[in-house]
Structure 1
């Protein structure tokens, strides 16, 4: 798939580019590869009081204390035991690192703008604002996450700031 679009809008606004794909349950999601700082195996996190359920706590990452979000909980999926395949994907949001717990990392997907379709209107109860679109890769569909909205929406009130 061609990711070079001369004179076109930047990759972030079109949904084109490279995406790190990962699994939550039986679904596949993607996050802009340029936002991924690192992928690390799951390790125990330090819980914090008075945080939303998806905020599992914090982790010391080379001297920086970063918040860790469980995407299964954030997306309303049933909880599961962490396995050897469970990883923390560390992403950059507004110059800060945030860890995302996912079931497993799949691969890097190259997506052209023509391969991204808008998220369908699922009615007022569906929270599709967390997605930038859906990438088609043959029969495979990957939900592309708007990481700024996802992490911004999961952030606790200012009194409970990280």
Structure 2
């Protein structure tokens, strides 16, 4: 697995760290504190009658982990699974969930003044699941509230209010 670069904003003590990942042509960020580990993609065991975005489950050191393909969930163009495809293992409210993404790039420190509110537009991401748009230099990240997204009505992978 490749080492992740860190984009550091040392001048800002209120900065939060986000793991940056790519889906199709867009770059997203999630709170690094929700990330347990990053693994190479391996085909999961399918579960009958599961929604299409749930690829199946894997056994991770004795824990059965549901695997969500974020490209399908967010209606991206279908991408091929390749050497860069990874599964980000998340620990959300005592529940372990994996998300398939095209690639991870780095961990970014974003100060609160570099995060702008998300525009009010129709999207595949449920309202309230986008924290805002973070920018560093020429890059823009769509910052996701991954817990809220995984607790949404169609996913129900984590309890909504625990």
Give TM-score, length-normalised by structure 2.
Answer: 0.84
> Match for residue 13 of structure 2?
4
> Match for residue 121 of structure 2?
122
> Match for residue 87 of structure 2?
88
Partner SS for 1:29: strand
Partner SS for 1:114: helix
Matched residues in 1 for 2:72 and 2:36: separation?
22
Matched residues in 2 for 1:90 and 1:18: separation?
17
Q: Is the contact made by 1:38 and 1:91 (CA closer than 8 Å) also made in structure 2?
A: yes
Partner SS for 1:129: coil
Matched residues in 1 for 2:123 and 2:23: separation?
23
Q: Is the contact made by 1:52 and 1:156 (CA closer than 8 Å) also made in structure 2?
A: no
Per the TM alignment, residue 138 of structure 1 is displaced from its structure 2 partner at its CA by 1.5
Deviations 1:85-138 (A, max 9, x none): 000000111111100000001100000000101111115887442211110112
Matched residues in 1 for 2:72 and 2:124: separation?
17
Structure 2: runs of 5 or more not aligned: 1-8, 158-162
Q: Which structure shows the bigger proportion of residues in helix conformation?
A: 1
Moved over 6 A (4+): none
Correspondence list, 1:7-156, <5 A = 16-123=15-122, 127-153=126-152, 154-156=154-156
Matched residues in 1 for 2:103 and 2:70: separation?
12
Question: What is the CA RMSD across the aligned residues, in angstroms?
Answer: 1.9
Q: Is the contact made by 1:87 and 1:104 (CA closer than 8 Å) also made in structure 2?
A: yes
Q: Is the contact made by 2:24 and 2:79 (CA closer than 8 Å) also made in structure 1?
A: no
Give the paired residue count: 147
Partner SS for 2:151: helix
Q: Is the contact made by 1:18 and 1:33 (CA closer than 8 Å) also made in structure 2?
A: yes
Matched residues in 2 for 1:81 and 1:25: separation?
10
